[in-house]
């Protein structure tokens, strides 16, 4: 449809247009109100025609005024009655007399003021009959429920299909841009409609109609011949247009698909049936169009840029299609942000959000333009020299057969400067060494921690970021390539999202890998051919000529992207860091010399490229500190200042590479200085790896871990501790009877055991020193690694580096000896901070050994002492209990007063008949038992009175799960009953605590004997007059 009509046909809609603003003025909207109010008054209000009512709502819905301008006083700040606001909107739309209605809803969607949910009102919405309603929903805040906007528009909106489904201000700063976007849609007169003489569709397969809005696309199912002449009506005005068949530009086709997607979403959300052929039809149209436009691939910049446009459209179409499919097939999105991003980028209005993604962090379009101007100036000044570079096929990307040099030698090179910043990054060839470097966020903060896990070799010696991007694009598009790259086909694996870039030239069979690293595997049967980054290098012949180009900001931007795959940052150190890390990786993979010609060439290219940066003041300063004050240069943060900031050693790869480069470029050969640098590097390497070693573990034993293997191995440690404890107990072994005679109660045994254990523990440290071998665990040290602090290298690589910088083998042997490792590790564990570690002289071997031994003693003595104490106490206690049990195994026999008086003096107890009650105060004559003296004849305390008798007697009860409580009392009470009665009484607990039958069954003989004794005792205690007649048993009582 036309985007506008002649003024003479322009029908004023002032008399038939009604504008409704419903603004959320709840408390949660306070931060957004001022910005919305000023933006509305500035951009929307002046473009409104017809009648306008401004409503606001918090707990209630109020008509602020009839007019277009908002005021500060319109903000209230209560709850959010979104349901009431929607009810008011529906009522106004249905009841107004105007034909054209614009609804503007501002809200954060946080309904909290009625039991009726907003969904209830939304589900009842329907387009007003014979009215055109355009709905503009502006959601606010990251928690805005996007589905509200989609559903409201789908049910109430029947205006232009080109209006976006949602406007969303996720943060305060987005308000103005969103309101401006709304204003632009109003200015476009989308509400005006035209009537056609022939019916068509806003989406193929839906109902046909004759009325369409300005700028809408109309699909006619009939052939071109039937629609060549159309009559258009607007009110009383009639016009005629003649149509001619014409090829649709692919960019226009993409906009058409956006409208169709918008209609599809609206149909889907109204629970109506989406035409089954809608999406397949779009796919067929696009495929046919691409087949028409796709020509032979070329390698020149001009033809590459032309092809880039096609690939860009292809990617955009695939994205549109995939996201609309996701919306149609996914009931619930993970969050509102995901739903909004699908809607925004799929339907009309999504384009402006896409441009935000392309903006570089901290680098504006103005900055980019300035950088391009600087680059072109440098390019023009050096163009003649650049064209003189002899670029061989071996210097080109294996896929694109181009290089940085060939791009710059291309006569059309300036054309590439006209594309946007993002496309420039992906189209300007940056060639170099292909590597696999897993993505890590820390690298953006510290480029020297860039880590290379693998170098790609022949036949992919040289690659480019253009080649990687094109390879990925060819895989995602499924396009068999036929032009850019040469060589054999490859079965390949790739990862990451499709991007706007040229296509690869090889047919490929590919599988997605790690999305976070965006890596590709060039051969499915060889995991070693895996890459995701390019480390740019030049040959020695080209490097010097390329120096001016290398030092431009634009080239730095490109190298940052090639290495980190991050288009949002520019890092001026990442190229030098990546060169150093790659060089160290080469040392790791090729430790011995002579190296192959291929490896030597790579090293030469790295050295030639890195030499371009050595004149930077920061590297000159660092080198001077490294050779003159090595310790300061190796500190993570030195006390020396550079440009009013501390000099830093972000990773040890930095001093390694700087030392090597100055040896190469300036023939630095002072072996004493080199040996000192390497020695301090080794100290610092171990230190950085151990900086946080078990630092948060209160039970950690770092010195034991590295120096006392016997105590680290839990089995060996257990064996040693048990032997030590056994030897100690053997030394302490004594007469168990003596123990029982010495300690009357268990509590006294335990106290004595603790005292004895404490005396033994005093000797523990010296025994540890004498019996535990203190030796550094060399294997553990060799396996230390910390990419984030020390850099992507190992102990093994450091040894190779020592040879690389020309140290003699005897010096290397000393630096890497077991004694040296002992000292490095001890020093590192003593001083965890880099500055402390490097500013404190390291102790010699003997002193280090003394320190380590003491630390091992301290770390282990308290743990072993705890076990020793427990074992000794249990040992002494068990010995006493064993003696106690042996002395008390016989059942206590009741004794009469006369029996006690006869035997007590033999036990050294001074007692007479007159003093008996004072000595044995708790004697119970009925049962013949005492409460203050033991009656077990084998006990050394037999008949000896003691105030602690209860503790002495309670041991047996305490350590027996089924002690026969009250056995003597029950037997006495049932002395005239049978055995079964006694056992039943014990079991039921008639007189005392219940006793299981099995606990006393083995005592039946003793119980029978005890019963008879109690009969005799009782009989003898009776007066003579009450004695039974001769021959009559005592059980007669």
pLDDT tens per residue across span 601-646: 999 999 999 999 999 999 999 999 999 999 999 999 999 988 888 9
**C-alpha angle with apex 374: 369 to 376, nearest 5 degrees?**
95
Tens digits of residue pLDDT in 828-850: 999 999 999 999 999 999 999 99
Q: Does the pLDDT of residue 519 top 90, yes or no?
A: no
Peptide bond into 459 cis (omega under 30): yes
The whole-number pLDDT of residue 580 equals: 97
- β-strands 100-107, 132-140 pairing: parallel
Q: Is 732 exposed, middle or buried (0-12, 13-18, 19+ CB in 10 A)?
A: middle
Q: Are 167 and 101 in contact (CB under 8 A)?
A: no
Bigger pLDDT: 329 or 245? 245
Bigger pLDDT: 684 or 460? 684
Say how far apart CA 474 and CA 850 lie, in whole Å. 65
In this prediction, residue 501 has a pLDDT band, given cuts at 50, 70 and 90, of very low
Tens digits of residue pLDDT in 707-728: 988 777 667 766 776 777 777 6
Say how far apart CA 273 and CA 269 lie, in whole Å. 10
- Here the tokens at position 264 are 């599809």
**C-alpha angle with apex 471: 469 to 477, nearest 5 degrees?**
100
Tens digits of residue pLDDT in 938-957: 999 999 999 988 888 888 76
Q: Does the pLDDT of residue 553 top 90, yes or no?
A: yes
Say how far apart CA 989 and CA 996 lie, in whole Å. 9
Say how far apart CA 49 and CA 445 lie, in whole Å. 53
**Residue 766, SS3?**
helix
Mean pLDDT of 390-418: 91
Say how far apart CA 519 and CA 473 lie, in whole Å. 13
Say how far apart CA 866 and CA 330 lie, in whole Å. 61
pTM of this prediction exceeds 0.75: no
Q: Which residues does residue 509 pair with via DSSP β-bridges, in sequence order?
A: 491
Mean pLDDT of 58-71: 93
The whole-number pLDDT of residue 1020 equals: 73
Q: Are 605 and 540 in contact (CB under 8 A)?
A: yes
- Here the tokens at position 349 are 């209005």
Tens digits of residue pLDDT in 136-195: 999 998 888 888 888 888 889 888 877 776 788 888 888 999 999 889 888 766 667 788
The whole-number pLDDT of residue 361 equals: 36
Say how far apart CA 920 and CA 936 lie, in whole Å. 16
- Beta-carbon contacts of 993 under 8 Å, excluding residues fewer than 6 positions away, are 965, 966
The whole-number pLDDT of residue 742 equals: 83
- Here the tokens at position 115 are 């039991």
- Here the tokens at position 299 are 């390698």
Say how far apart CA 664 and CA 874 lie, in whole Å. 71
Tokens 């969904």 belong to 119
The whole-number pLDDT of residue 1032 equals: 28
The whole-number pLDDT of residue 986 equals: 79
CA distance readout (Å), 179 to 100, 104, 138, 176, 998: 20, 10, 8, 5, 91
The whole-number pLDDT of residue 496 equals: 36
Mean pLDDT of 502-529: 50
Say how far apart CA 590 and CA 584 lie, in whole Å. 10
The whole-number pLDDT of residue 764 equals: 64
Tens digits of residue pLDDT in 290-326: 877 766 455 677 666 666 677 677 777 887 787 777 7
In this prediction, residue 354 has a pLDDT band, given cuts at 50, 70 and 90, of very low
The mean pLDDT value of the chain amounts to 82
- Beta-carbon contacts of 1034 under 8 Å, excluding residues fewer than 6 positions away, are 976, 1015, 1016, 1018, 1019, 1028
Sign of the four-CA dihedral 262, 264, 265, 271: positive
Tens digits of residue pLDDT in 465-492: 888 877 766 554 444 433 333 333 333 3
Percent of the chain past pLDDT 70, that is, above it, reads 82
Mean pLDDT of 774-779: 94
CA distance readout (Å), 813 to 804, 817, 826: 14, 6, 19
Q: Does the pLDDT of residue 351 top 70, yes or no?
A: no
Say how far apart CA 139 and CA 507 lie, in whole Å. 46
Q: Does the pLDDT of residue 738 top 50, yes or no?
A: no
In this prediction, residue 348 has a pLDDT band, given cuts at 50, 70 and 90, of very low
The whole-number pLDDT of residue 325 equals: 76
The whole-number pLDDT of residue 242 equals: 83
Tokens 């509590």 belong to 747
**DSSP tag of 841:** P
- Beta-carbon contacts of 921 under 8 Å, excluding residues fewer than 6 positions away, are 931, 932
Segment among 265-279, 732-746, 991-1005 with least mean pLDDT: 732-746
CA distance readout (Å), 848 to 66, 708, 822, 982: 88, 14, 8, 76
Say how far apart CA 661 and CA 655 lie, in whole Å. 10
């Amino acid at each position: 449809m036309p985007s506008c009509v002649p003024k003479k046909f322009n029908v004023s809609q002032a008399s038939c247009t009604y504008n409704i603003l419903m603004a959320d003025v709840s408390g949660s909207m306070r931060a957004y109100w001022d910005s919305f109010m000023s933006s509305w008054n500035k951009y929307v209000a002046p473009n409104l025609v017809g009648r306008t009512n401004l409503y606001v709502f918090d707990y209630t819905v109020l008509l602020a005024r009839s007019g277009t301008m908002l005021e500060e006083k319109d903000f209230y700040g209560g709850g959010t009655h979104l349901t009431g606001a929607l009810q008011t909107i529906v009522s106004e739309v249905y009841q107004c007399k105007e034909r054209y209605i614009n609804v503007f809803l501002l809200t954060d969607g946080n309904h909290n003021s009625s039991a009726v949910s907003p969904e209830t009102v939304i589900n009842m919405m329907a387009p007003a009959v014979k009215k055109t309603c355009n709905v503009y929903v502006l959601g606010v805040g990251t928690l805005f429920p996007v589905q509200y906007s989609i559903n409201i528009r789908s049910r109430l909106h029947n205006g232009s299909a080109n209006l976006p489904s949602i406007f969303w201000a996720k943060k305060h700063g987005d308000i103005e841009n969103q309101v401006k976007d709304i204003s632009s849609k109003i200015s476009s007169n989308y509400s005006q409609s035209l009537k056609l003489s022939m019916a068509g569709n806003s989406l193929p397969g839906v109902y046909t109609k004759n009325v369409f809005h300005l700028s809408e696309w109309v699909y006619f199912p009939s052939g071109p011949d039937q629609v060549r002449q159309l009559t258009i009506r607007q009110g009383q005005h009639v016009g005629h247009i003649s149509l001619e068949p014409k090829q649709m530009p692919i960019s226009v086709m993409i906009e058409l698909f956006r409208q169709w997607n918008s209609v599809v979403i609206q149909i889907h959300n109204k629970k109506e049936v989406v035409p089954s052929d809608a999406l397949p039809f779009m796919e067929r149209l696009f495929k046919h169009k691409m087949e028409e436009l796709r020509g032979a691939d070329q390698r020149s910049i001009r033809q590459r840029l032309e092809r880039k446009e096609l690939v860009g459209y292809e990617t955009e179409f695939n994205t549109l299609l995939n996201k609309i499919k996701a919306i149609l097939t996914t009931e619930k999105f993970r969050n509102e942000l995901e739903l909004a991003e699908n809607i925004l980028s799929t339907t009309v209005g999504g384009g402006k959000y896409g441009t935000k993604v392309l903006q570089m962090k901290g680098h504006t379009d103005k900055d980019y333009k300035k950088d391009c101007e600087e680059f072109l100036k440098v390019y023009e000044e050096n163009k003649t020299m650049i064209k003189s570079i002899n670029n061989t096929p071996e210097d080109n990307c294996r896929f694109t057969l181009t290089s940085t040099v060939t791009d710059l030698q291309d006569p059309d090179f300036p054309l590439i400067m006209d594309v946007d910043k993002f496309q420039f990054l992906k189209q300007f060839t940056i060639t170099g060494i292909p590597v696999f470097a897993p993505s890590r966020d820390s690298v953006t903060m510290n480029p020297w921690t860039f880590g290379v896990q693998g170098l790609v070799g022949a036949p992919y010696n040289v690659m480019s970021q253009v080649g990687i991007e094109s390879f990925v694009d060819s895989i995602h598009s499924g396009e068999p390539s036929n032009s850019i790259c040469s060589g054999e086909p490859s079965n390949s694996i790739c990862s990451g999202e499709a991007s706007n870039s040229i296509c690869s030239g090889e047919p490929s069979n590919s599988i997605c890998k790690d999305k976070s690293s965006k890596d590709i595997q060039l051969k499915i049967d060889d995991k070693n051919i895996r890459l995701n980054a390019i480390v740019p290098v030049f040959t020695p012949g080209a490097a010097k000529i390329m120096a001016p180009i290398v030092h431009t900001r634009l080239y730095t931007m490109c190298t940052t992207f090639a290495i980190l795959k991050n288009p949002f940052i520019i890092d001026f150190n990442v190229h030098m860091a990546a060169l150093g890390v790659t060089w160290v990786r080469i040392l790791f993979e090729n430790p011995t010399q002579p190296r192959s010609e291929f490896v030597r060439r790579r090293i030469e290219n790295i050295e030639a490229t890195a030499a371009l940066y050595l004149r930077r003041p920061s590297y000159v300063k660092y080198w001077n500190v490294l050779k003159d004050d090595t310790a300061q240069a190796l500190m993570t943060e030195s006390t020396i200042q550079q440009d009013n900031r501390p000099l830093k050693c972000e990773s040890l790869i930095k001093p390694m590479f700087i030392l090597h480069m100055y040896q190469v470029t300036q023939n630095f050969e002072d072996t004493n200085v080199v040996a000192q640098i390497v020695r301090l590097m080794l100290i610092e390497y171990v230190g950085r790896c151990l900086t946080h070693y078990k630092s948060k573990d209160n039970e950690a034993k770092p010195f034991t871990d590295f120096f006392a293997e016997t105590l680290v191995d839990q089995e060996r440690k257990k064996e040693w501790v048990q032997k030590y404890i056994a030897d100690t107990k053997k030394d302490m072994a004594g007469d168990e009877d003596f123990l029982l005679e010495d300690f009357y109660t268990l509590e006294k045994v335990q106290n004595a055991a603790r005292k004895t254990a404490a005396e033994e523990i005093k000797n523990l440290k010296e025994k540890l020193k004498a019996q535990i071998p203190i030796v550094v665990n060399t294997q553990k040290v060799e396996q230390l690694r910390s990419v984030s602090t020390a850099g992507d290298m190992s102990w093994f690589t450091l040894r190779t580096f020592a040879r690389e910088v020309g140290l003699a083998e005897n010096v290397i042997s000393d630096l890497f000896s077991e004694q040296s490792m002992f000292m490095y590790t001890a020093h590192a564990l003593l001083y965890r901070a880099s500055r402390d570690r490097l500013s404190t002289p390291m102790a010699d071997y003997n002193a280090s050994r003394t320190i380590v031994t003491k630390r091992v003693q301290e770390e282990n003595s308290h743990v072993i002492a705890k076990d020793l104490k427990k074992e000794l106490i249990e040992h002494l206690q068990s010995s006493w209990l064993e003696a106690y049990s042996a002395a008390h195994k016989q059942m206590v026999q009741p004794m009469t007063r006369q029996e006690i008086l006869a035997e007590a003096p033999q036990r050294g107890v001074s007692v007479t008949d007159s003093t008996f009650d004072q000595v044995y105060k708790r004697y119970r004559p009925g049962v013949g038992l005492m409460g203050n003296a033991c009656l077990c004849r084998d006990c050394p305390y037999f008949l000896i009175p003691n105030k602690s008798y209860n503790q002495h007697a309670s041991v047996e009860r305490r350590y027996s799960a089924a002690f026969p409580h009250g056995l003597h009392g029950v037997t006495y009470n049932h002395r005239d009953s049978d055995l079964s009665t006694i056992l039943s009484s014990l079991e039921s607990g008639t007189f005392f605590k219940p006793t299981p039958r099995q606990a006393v069954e083995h005592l039946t003989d003793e119980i029978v004997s005890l019963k008879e004794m109690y009969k005799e005792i009782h009989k003898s205690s009776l007066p003579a007059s009450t004695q039974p007649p001769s021959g009559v048993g005592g059980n007669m009582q």
